[in-house]
Amino acid sequence: MILRPLVLALGFASLAFLPAPAFAAAAKAPAAAAPAEAALPVWTSGPGSTLTFESSYDGESFEGGFSDFRAEIAFDPARLSASRFDVRIALASANTENDERDETLHGAEFFNVAALSDARYTATAFRALPDGRFVADGELALNGAKQAVPLTFRWVGGASPRLEGTATLNRLAFNVGIGDWGDLEMMPDSVTVTTTLVLKPSR
């Protein structure tokens, strides 16, 4: 019982002999910083991934897709603030299985691939929905324009993650289908885009 007061006294005495700056530093030493969170793993689109679109012309529906695109995905439902999407799309790979229509899509009044060959979709803000799906509040850069395009998607995690998503965009906001093609009675403004990403580790 006598040793404890003696030890405390010696401790205070040793502080008293420290120089003033050293005493202040000892008194105000900051707490150890919390360790930084590890970065999320990055996944990329692999075989079986698809990126398709749906529209109509003169009352006839058609579907198309892009055969050349690359998605880089870092996503964790428990760490939405650290998640991000980056998707690059080669517009010349658009294919609707109709040569005449595809030539028109590649031309200056639609995707204008001679001037701007790629589109890019990026997202760093995400929301969880009550039904278990998520929304990426992303931005699409296409044909010289940038617009917000939310992507609603379902995420299947694990060793081989999978993403299934749908977005709706207005083509005229991206100068797609201008000139005579801007007649909304012939071709609607709204286009539905659907993607399935079969993901593999990025190298």
pLDDT digits (tens, 9 = 90+) for 178-192: 999 999 999 999 999
pLDDT given at position 197: 98
What pLDDT sits at residue 193? 98
**Is the domain of 133 the same as that of 94?**
yes
Report the pLDDT value the prediction gives residue 117, as an integer from 0 to 100: 95
Of 190, 183, 196, nearest to 71 by C-alpha is 196
Give a yes or no: residue 34 inside a domain: no
Alpha helices in the chain (DSSP H): 3-16, 20-27, 99-106
pLDDT at 115: 93
- 10-residue mean pLDDT profile of the chain (203 residues): values are 38 42 48 69 96 95 97 97 98 96 96 95 98 98 97 95 98 96 95 97 86
The pLDDT, as a whole number, for residue 26 is: 44
Write out the H or E segment, with its range, that includes residue 162: strand 162-170
* Res 37: pLDDT: 75
Note whether 88 and 183 are same-domain residues. Answer: yes
Q: Are 95 and 163 in contact (CB under 8 A)?
A: no
Q: Does 24 share its domain with 58? A: no
Q: Which two tokens stand for residue 77?
A: 């439902």
Q: What is the pLDDT of residue 34?
A: 52
Q: Is residue 155 located within the same domain as residue 116?
A: yes
User: What CATH number corresponds to the domain at position 197?
Assistant: 2.40.128.110
Residues 104 and 145 in one domain: yes
Q: Residue 55 falls within a domain, yes or no?
A: yes
Separation CA 83–CA 55 (nearest Å): 31
103: which residues sit within 8 A by CB, 6+ positions away? none
**Domain span at residue 97?**
43-201
Tell which residue, 94, 120, 116, has the closest CA to residue 105.
94
